[in-house]
Amino acid sequence: MSLSMALNVAKSSLQTSGVQTATTSRNIAGGAESSYSRKSATVITGVGGTVQVVSIERATNTALYKTMLKATSASAKQDALLDGLTKMAQTIDDPELNQSPAAKLGDLNNKLQQYAANPSNTILAQAVQSSATALATTLNEATTTVQATRALADADMATSVQRINDLLAKIDTLNTTIVHGTVTGADVTDSLDSRDNLISQLSEEIGISVVSRDNNDVAIYTDGGVALFETHPREVSFQATNIFNAATVGNAVYVDGVAVVGGTSSMASTSGRLAGLATLRDEAGVTYQSQLDEIARGLIDAFAESDPSGTGPDVPGLFTWPAGTIPATATIETGLAGLIAVNPAIDPTAGGNLDLIRDGITYDYNTTDEAGFAERLNALVTELGEARVFDAASGADPTNTLADYATSSASWLEFNRQQVDTSATYQSTMLQRASEALSNNTGVNLDDELSKQLEIERTYAASAKLISAVDEMLQDLLNAV
């Protein structure tokens, strides 16, 4: 090997070592970031043994990355749903506190039995009125809680859509940089990391699939198959609803006019925070509200008054609502739980008479005005213990006593909350494992990088020593001339 060739080899080695040192330093600096992938310099040997870095590559594992995206979406959906169900579960509270509709109904039944045993006792009549008021208030407040939860889910959907659009805009900017840089041969590895991180954040909001294309370009689709990003981002739109009541139907989320979350769609997204919020708003919240409404309907029906002569219509008794009629049997009266109230005719503070609980409000059951009249009260106790038919669409036990139906409603809510809680824990574990697997495969091992740096330093020192030796030889030749 000639001296000039040896010098070229040493110089190329120094240059290569410099790039390799910069790469390992970059790895060490970025290793603490979860979105950072390990970089490596691709070195080739040229003519005469010279070496050069032709590109900077990053560690990737497409299969693990896609698994992590899927786990992220699944976990985000369950977390959103669990948060809402936990809020709604406040309506049943701790069973020992007796704050649920079922507990309040049980208390009313007990108070009614006590009053039936001593119908002339005004204090017991007052206890029935107070218990009935507490039950109606519990149903009113439960409705408020459910609708507030649905409204918050709707507002969170708007926030989620805004975040999706923001992320897509950032992905668009990065993607343009990456494609252009790839074509021109620039180092785009950091930009690829940043884009992957943005896509990971996007998967929190909506389930997605990512397709790689030429020049490091990507296309992103929802898990239902609707394009979110192809060369440029698609428009994601959603119209939030400001005020929610039991009859409110929230709007769907659209991508270029195609419904992907909420409403009806043949290409619906089934994972991500958006899907969880929509499930809470449109399914869980609506179902639980219908159960509360059926409890309210059952109360109005159970305490309804019938004309003893058989000529007049059935009318509300102890419990009533603004329409002042008896709701249709086994049919959900949407929003009734928020409207039910104790009949003011038995409320002394509203000018009413407590004795009407015993004697009848619209129809007179105690025609002889007996203070010990208990027939009507005993009939009410019996009616509460009778099986009745509820709307099967409500999701609770459709054929049982009112008390059992209220209990099955509470059980439905708690069962679903526990199921989602279990699923959320599982999905969180799966996400953690997927993230760890991806990190172990593509992330930075500090010990490995430090070892590489030592090897590079030795190579650098050897190259420097070779240059020094060649320099001495050349100097000797010059001196000999």
DSSP 55-82: EEEE---HHHHHHHHHHHHHHHHHHHHH
pTM above 0.85, yes or no: yes
Distance, CA of 244 to CA of 20 (rounded, Å): 60
At residue 12, the pLDDT reads: 65
Cα–Cα distances (Å) from 355 to 106, 247, 324, in that order, read 22, 36, 21
pLDDT of residue 300: 98
| Per-residue pLDDT at 476 | 65
Q: How many CA atoms lie within 13 A of 100 on its CB side?
A: 24
- The packing angle between helices 3-30 and 446-480, to 10°, is 160
Model pLDDT, residue 1: 53
Residue 56 CA to residue 180 CA, distance in Å, equals: 16
Q: How high is the pLDDT of residue 2? A: 63
Buried b (16+ CB within 10 A) or exposed e, 243-276: ebebebebbbbbbeebbbbbeebeebbbbbbbbb
pLDDT at 388: 94
pLDDT at residue number 11: 67
Question: Among candidates 309, 418, 335, 433, which has minimal Cα distance to 78?
Answer: 418
* Six-digit token string for 85: 């169900």
User: What per-residue confidence (pLDDT) applies to 347?
Assistant: 95
Look at the block and give the residue holding tokens 């923001």: 166
CA distances from 110 to 116, 377, 378, 381, 384 (A): 10, 12, 12, 9, 11
Structure tokens at 397: 């036990």
CA distance 128 to 333: 25
Q: What is the number of alpha carbons within 13 Å of residue 330 lying toward its C-beta? A: 8
pLDDT at residue 8, as a whole number: 65
Looking at residue 265, its pLDDT comes to 79
Q: Cα separations (Å) of 378 from 112, 113, 115, 456?
A: 8, 7, 9, 94
Residues near 277 by beta carbon (within 8 Å), at least 6 away in sequence: 80, 81, 84, 153, 154, 156, 157, 160
User: Which residues of the chain register pLDDT less than 50?
Assistant: none
Question: pLDDT at position 52, please?
Answer: 72
Q: Angle CA(39)–CA(42)–CA(45) in degrees, nearest 5?
A: 160
